[in-house]
Amino acid sequence: MAVSGFEGFEKRLELHFSGDDPLIGNMGLRLLDFDSIEKVLHAVQCTVVSAVGNQYFDSYVLSESSLFVYPTKIIIKTCGTTQLLKSICPLIHHAFTLGLMICSCRYTRGNFIFPKAQPYPHTSFKEEIIFLENNLPNNLYYRKASVLPSKLSSHSWHVFSACDESHILMQNMPDELYTVEVCMTELDRISAGKFFRRPSDGKNGDSAGMEMTEITGIGDINPNALICDFAFDPCGYSMNGIAGDRYSTIHVTPEDGFSYASFECMGSIYDDPIDIVEMLKKAVQVFRPGTVSVSMTSNNHKVWKCVAKAIESLGMKFRSCTMDEFPATGSVMFHTFTTRRK
């Protein structure tokens, strides 16, 4: 493995807000002006490379991953040496100016490939927890941090979750929507090679990204999604897909020695699990990784059994499954798989 390289593993933050104004349900956080968003991203150390929105939410591809803004929810996912947790205070402040108060927070990440390269407050999970504890308001009283282990020393799932009284009371009514986060390492070299630009290809980041979406099969994962894609130079790729009120996102670090790709999407407990399973299978097949981890915020046994079977059907071996309960999030399931040749 390389001594140091680009850190593909993302940090992911999801904040929920509430307020008294009935108009909040319509626009809420989407009323944040672009200048404020750029200031938040400046604190994190990344920038917007493209943006698109529909009637439900706004989606931004960032220089380091993605941002999704819903009326009362923000999801921000960043990789490299970004300082994601530094977005918390400015986001709470900007939301307050719109009459919104934070009511829940979830922070998740995998194991960094290059942990020593991470700046404060991401130098360790302990440091991240201290930062979260000190920067979240007291109304987020119910808090829990835990690391879900696996049989692979290189893969574990770090979760911090906090919520206020209203979310705790809702705990027995599981959220209709759940998220699935897939982290893939040791990508097949031929598959990873498709995320390198050809020298002097005469394209810009958008047109090269569009070409990668097409030739890799990423465009077929959810044919109903509107895709916003970007290719970095000389390599690397990011895309956000938007379909109604649901997002999906893929990020690729194709460099040999520290190759990494992630796929994230949303599911509903009312959907047929086949839909999400088919998307997951297609996403994993794009990269043919040596190792896959799947983390889900759903305790729907039917869904996670289908997911495990689907990944196994791609020739991968189930290695471990861990579960824990968190305030605001409910259950988090963490599965790992490796190629059979390992």
Ligand X SMILES: C[S@+](CC[C@H](N)C(=O)[O-])C[C@H]1O[C@@H](n2cnc3c(N)ncnc32)[C@H](O)[C@@H]1O
Interacting residues toward ligand X by CB under 6 A: 6, 8, 10, 63-65, 79-80, 232, 235-236, 238, 251-255, 260-262
DSSP state of 235: B
How far apart are the C-alpha atoms of 156 and 322, rounded to whole Å?
10
Residue 257 DSSP SS3: coil
Task: Please confirm, yes or no, whether 79 is among the known catalytic residues.
Answer: yes
232 known ligand binder: yes
Residue type, 158: H
How far apart are the C-alpha atoms of 153 and 174, rounded to whole Å?
32
Shortest spacing between CB 253 and ligand X, in angstroms: 3
Residue nearest to ligand X (CB): 236
Which residue in the list 65, 66, 150, 295 is annotated as catalytic? 65
Alpha helices for 47-121 (secondary structure H): 88-97
Give the chain's largest Cα–Cα span. 58
Residue 156 or 253 with smaller CB distance to ligand X: 253
255 known ligand binder: yes
Shortest spacing between CB 19 and ligand X, in angstroms: 32
Distances (CA, A) of 40 to 51, 69, 80, 142, 318: 16, 13, 17, 26, 39
Which residue in the list 16, 158, 167, 251 is annotated as catalytic? 251
Residue 11 or 167 with smaller CB distance to ligand X: 11
Shortest spacing between CB 117 and ligand X, in angstroms: 13
Residue 82 or 222 with smaller CB distance to ligand X: 82
How far apart are the C-alpha atoms of 180 and 303, rounded to whole Å?
11
Task: Please confirm, yes or no, whether 161 is among the known catalytic residues.
Answer: no
Shortest spacing between CB 30 and ligand X, in angstroms: 24
Instruction: Say how many residues make up the chain.
Output: 342
Residue 159 or 187 with smaller CB distance to ligand X: 187
Which residue in the list 150, 238, 262, 298 is annotated as catalytic? 238
Burial of 191-204, coded b for 16+ CB within 10 Å and e otherwise, reads bbebbbbeeeeeee
What is the CA 2 to chain-centroid distance, rounded?
Answer: 24
Shortest spacing between CB 112 and ligand X, in angstroms: 11
Task: Please confirm, yes or no, whether 155 is among the known catalytic residues.
Answer: no
Cis check for the bond before 121: say yes or no (omega within 30 of 0): yes
The token duo for 10 is: 């993302």
Phi, psi of 159 (to 5 degrees): -130, 130
Residue 100 or 284 with smaller CB distance to ligand X: 284
Task: Please confirm, yes or no, whether 235 is among the known catalytic residues.
Answer: no
- As annotated, the binding site includes 6, 64, 232, 255
Binding-site residue positions for substrate: 6, 64, 232, 255
List active site positions: 65, 79, 238, 251
